[in-house]
Structure 1
Amino acid sequence: MAYRYLFGPVPSRRLGISLGIDLVPHKTCSFNCIYCECGQTTDLTCERREYVPTDRVIAELDDFLATAPDLDYVTFAGSGEPTLHSGIGEIISFIKDRYPRYRVAVLTNSALFTDPDVRAALMRADVVVPSLDAVSEEVFVKINRPSPGITAGQVLEGLLDFAREYTGEVWLEIFIVPGVNDTDKELRLLKDAVIAIEPDRVQVNTLDRPGAEDWVLPASPEAIERIAAMLGGNAGAIGVAYAGRTLPPKTKDIGETILATIRRRPCTPRDLATLLGIRPTEVAKHLRVLEAQGLIEAVEEKRGVFYRPT
């Protein structure tokens, strides 16, 4: 079966070997974050509906998981906001009922947690990774550029409601953009929010690949460590490099895996070699083929040459 809504498995800095599920068209999101490594949002919306056929996603998952692949997580992520899909709860339940050995993770921007249906849909996930980049309205609008009608207060209120109801693990992500949300005032507000939410982990992140806006720069490692220390004992930086196990040789096609990884986030050849645990010369060979096929292109950035999908 050719998979349209699944990608990977790909190595993740946080989730190990992860099979990705993409439930919405490319860059369909309730935010248009200035730092998004997937690029600008092209469909800014908070409308929940069945963007792709739920039964088709379930059929693809059934076909893939029936082979008993070695995975750390099945992850709802991709290049848009997965909670916009009205069938996400049904898909999570299918995985947990039919393939209970697999842990389910959901990455979300937290925008829709004020909706009780969204909160209920995620209750059977093992890990939810919600984002909270700002608490003040001014900074929230500047960094997340939300769909009309979404406010900073609503996002925090929804997150608090979800955290109170949810029995799985909450790994709160805070993305730092220097000059935007790293002021003492905003960091104090974020710390107060962390105390109220009581997440299992706080993951402090910053730009590692080209963002949606060229002027967005990464915070220094020292700044990230300082902010993590200020936020509390369960806060830490998300490492740049993947340090887990590599993909099992029997289940990976290197070219397809490289393309799946690049479709999620732009990568340098060194990133790919580290992520996949293969030699740089092998990565270079496959990049040349993919570039010749017109599937990827190279762009020069501060950290080196990045490859992204065409």
Structure 2
Amino acid sequence: MDYKYLFGPVPSRRLGISLGIDLVTPKICSYNCIYCECGKTTCLTVNRKEFVPAEIVIKELDDFLSKNPKIDYITFAGSGEPTLNSGIGKIAVFLKEKYPQYKTALLTNGSLLGDNDVLNDCKDIDLVVPSLDAALEKSFFKIDRPHHSLKIDAIIDGIAKFRTNFSGKMWLEIFLVPGINDKEEEIEALNRAILKINPDKVQVNILDRPGTVDWIRRPDDDELKNFASKILHSNVEITGKPADRDTIASFSGDIKQKILETIKRRPCTPDDLSKILGLHQNEINKYLGYLVENNEIVESAEERGIFYKVKQKN
């Protein structure tokens, strides 16, 4: 069976071996984040509907999981904001009832968690990881570039409401953008929000591959450690690099080689590679990250986006 809405399993920095479920088509989201590796949002919306048919996703999951794959999480993630899909609850219930041996996770920007329907749809998910990159309106709009109807105070209240009514685990993610959300007043506001939300863990994330703007940069180690030290929570984690993917069964040497062979012929964007190789862009990004980390390929910012090419040997 060819899978249209599943991708991976892929090695995840946070979730181990993750089977991804993409519930929206590229690039539908309620944010247009400056750091998003999936590219610019083309449909900025807060209106929920069944962008991807839940019944088809369920059939794909049933076919894949019936083979008893070794995975750590089944993860609602992908090309945009998963909670925008009004069918997410049907899929979560199916997984809980038929495949309870697998843990589920939701990677979300958190913008819709205050909605009662979203809370009801996501109550059966084991782990929810909402992002909160800023707790002040000005920096929120600069980093996340949300739909005009969204306000940061209401989003924080919504995440806190979800947390109170949710029996699973919650890890709150903060994406560090040097020069914006690392100022003292920004950190103080984030700490007030963290106290209100009361997550199980706070994760500090950083730029892994180029985002959608060229001015954003990766913090150095001192900036990262200094920021994390100021977050007032008993469990603060700096999201590190994945384990060596060569030791992980789901990381395919064949796919890695196909990517290298393709960009040897001509530089490609992640979208180019996704179309050429027939793989989900999130899966492509995992391999590109590995190849960049190992100095096998290099990135180049061009007018059409970020291109990848094989690193020339001296």
TM (normalized to structure 2)? 0.83
Counterpart contact for 1:37–1:209, Cα < 8 Å: yes
Structure 1 residue 273 displacement after superposition? 8.9
- After TM superposition, the structure 1 = structure 2 runs for residues 181-200 of structure 1, keeping only pairs within 5 Å, are 181-200=181-200
Question: How much does 1:130 deviate?
Answer: 0.3
Task: Tell whether 2:163 aligns with 1:144.
Answer: no
18-27 or 230-239, larger mean C-alpha shift: 230-239
Deviation, 1:165, is 0.7
DSSP-derived class of the 1:203 partner: strand
Is contact 1:13-1:243 (8 Å) kept? no
Counterpart position of 2:92: 92
2:10 and 2:283 in contact (8 A); partners too: no
Aligned to 1:271: 290
Instruction: Give the share of equivalent positions with the same residue, in percent.
Output: 46
CA-to-partner distance for each residue in 1:200-246, whole Å, 9 max, x for gaps? 11000111101011111111222222221211331121003435784
- In structure 2, what is the Cα distance between the partners aligned to 1:244 and 1:268? 9
1:122 aligns to 2:126 (yes or no): no
The alignment covers a number of residue pairs equal to 285
Give yes or no for contact 1:29–1:46 (8 Å, CA) kept in 2.
yes
* One-letter amino acid of the counterpart of residue 194, structure 2: V
Hey, what's the Cα distance between the residues in 2 that align with 1:150 and 1:211?
A: 22
Matches within 5 A, 1:212-291: 212-231=212-231, 232-242=233-243, 246-248=247-249, 254-255=254-255, 260=279, 262-264=281-283, 266=285, 271-272=290-291
**Amino acid paired to 1:242:** A
- Equivalent AA in structure 2 for residue 240 of structure 1: K
Deviation of residue 77 (structure 1)? Answer: 0.4
- Root-mean-square deviation (CA, aligned residues, Å) is 2.6
Aligned counterparts of 2:291 and 2:35: Cα–Cα separation in 1: 21
Does the C-alpha gap of structure 1 residues 190 and 103 become closer, same or farther in structure 2, counting only changes over 3 Å? Answer: same
Query: For 1:240 and 1:306, how far apart are their aligned partners in 2?
Result: 20
Give the equivalent residue in structure 2 for 1:111.
111
Say which SS state the counterpart of residue 180 (structure 1) adopts.
coil
Give the distance between the partners of 1:34 and 1:273, measured in 2 at CA.
20
- The one-letter code of the counterpart of 1:236 is E
Mapping of residues 4-153 of structure 1, within 5 Å = 4-153=4-153
Give the residue type in structure 2 aligned to 1:179.
G
CA distance in 2, matches of 1:188, 1:219: 19
Gap change, CA 1:102 and 1:244, over 3 Å in 2: farther
Instruction: Find the aligned partners of 1:218 and 1:261 in 2 and give their Cα distance.
Output: 25
Residue 267 of structure 2: aligned partner: none
Q: What amino acid does structure 2 have at the position aligned with 1:199?
A: P
Structure 1 unmatched ranges of 5 or more: 275-279, 288-297
SS at match of 1:20: strand
1:164-179 correspondence runs (5 A): 164-179=164-179
